[in-house]
Structure 1
Amino acid sequence: MKLLSRKSITAATAVAVLGGLSIAAMPSQAATTTHNQATAHSSTAAPTLTARQLAKLPLTDRHLTKHEKTTLAIVLRDYYVAEGKSLDADAFANSFAKDGVFNDMVPGVAYRGKELGNVPRYMAGLFPDVHRELKRITVNGDVVSIELAIQGTFKGPLQSPAGTVKPTGAKVDVPTADFWYLHNGKVEKFNCFVGYSTMYQQMGINWDWASAVNKH
């Protein structure tokens, strides 16, 4: 299955966040739209995706209802505002319902309210060029399931229990699975499974198994 490239995700989502959620402008037009112009557009119009944009996406089922297209457009907008080059942590947080939650499933950490903006900020702090390569997308009503890879360059410091890990410039390509649950156009729950073991290994961080064994 053809992967969704950086160019494709920009084409499909830049207009979602910069074009009043119309997703009707060409990517080049969207790129020149300023933030002030974007906020001047009506925010009441439901987001949607054109047939051309849908054709570029790695969907498991292309027969989506109008509602499912709207749901998918909201999720794609959130990926766009979490990209390193188009980071907008506030927009990401505002897409969640009042009691919405982001669950970082592997470490078992949940983010709510103002903390939601810390999620994209943290990843962009480690990988300023962070990009999410969408590989397989399934939409079922208000639920969007996505297989993807988090990609980027380790250029920001990592705070660890043992101290600060200095950036190495290493490239990462981390297997990830995301599950989005929406209601009335808002994200109620986002369960994210990141392959942290792979990520840390690619960053040059090795697990200290000997230390763990010596504790017993």
Structure 2
Amino acid sequence: MKLLSRKSITAATAVAVLSGLSIAAVPSQAASPAHGSAAAHSSTGVPDLTPSQLAKLPLTNRHLTRHERQNLAVVLRDYQVAEGNSIDVKTFVDSFTKDGVFNDMVPGVAYRGKALGDVLPYMANLFPDVHRELKKITVNGDVISIELAIQGTFEGPLQSPAGTVKPNGAKIDVPTADFWYLHDGKVEKFNCFVGYSTMYQQMGVNWDWASAVDKH
């Protein structure tokens, strides 16, 4: 897949953006972002993003307020802990408000409470090397919109209504759109639109149109 040069960032790079930032840093002990260091936000525990870190991101608007930077840092951390090589279910779940919800919009499935813990393992079981390539990020107050691609290798079984689809090592590169809604540094709602038809086709699952036609 052709990358968007400087306007493209992989989730691995998002990890690099956040790496070295002490999640538990005490604000009074952290240097001001104006001096090139990241200060932890008191309510989220996630460090503010520095100008150099922001420069590596494919932002549509680089004039972010401190509040917007802190929201973005929370979202980037959620992508970081969703990577196949650094799955952290607890951190992901804890980033949501008490009544927060993850909406898998295409199949119409909502995850709340303990069920939020099922989100990351599901994708990681199918694609152990699951990875998000972040292409375009728009931050508008408490709303963050991201165009991305979910990538990985089909190495885990897929349960379907017709039975189990065996893994075949196929590579996927799936267009996705994510919309994050935050409040006080926590995720209230995360709407995820995954191109499942593309994903299943790349996995070798072909739609049986003939059987659908025969039913009529």
The answer to whether TM tops 0.5 is yes
Residue identity in the other structure for 1:133: E
Structure 2 contact 11–80 (Cα < 8 Å) conserved: no
Give the Cα separation in 1 of the matches to 2:46 and 2:67. Answer: 9
Q: How many residues are paired up?
A: 196
Give the Cα separation in 2 of the matches to 1:143 and 1:44. Answer: 16
2:14 counterpart of 1:9: yes
Aligned to 2:122: 122
Q: What SS is found at the alignment partner of 2:19?
A: helix
Identity of aligned residues (%): 74
Aligned to 1:179: 179
* 1:1-216 aligned within 5 A: 1=4, 2-15=7-20, 19-20=22-23, 45-216=45-216
Q: Which runs of 5+ in 2 are unaligned?
A: 31-41
Structure 1 contact 158–167 (Cα < 8 Å) conserved: yes
Cα 1:203/1:46, change in 2 over 3 Å: closer
1:74-130 deviation per Cα after TM superposition (whole angstroms, max 9, x unaligned): 000000001100001121111100000000000000000011111111000100000
Q: Which runs of 5+ in 1 are unaligned?
A: 25-41
Structure 1 contact 181–189 (Cα < 8 Å) conserved: yes
Name the TM-score, length of structure 1 as normaliser.
Answer: 0.86
Structure 1 contact 21–48 (Cα < 8 Å) conserved: no
Higher relative helix content:
1
Cα 1:163/1:132, change in 2 over 3 Å: same
Give the Cα separation in 1 of the matches to 2:150 and 2:24. Answer: 25
Give the Cα separation in 2 of the matches to 1:62 and 1:175. Answer: 24
Computed over aligned residues only, the root mean square deviation of the Cα atoms, in angstroms, reads 1.7
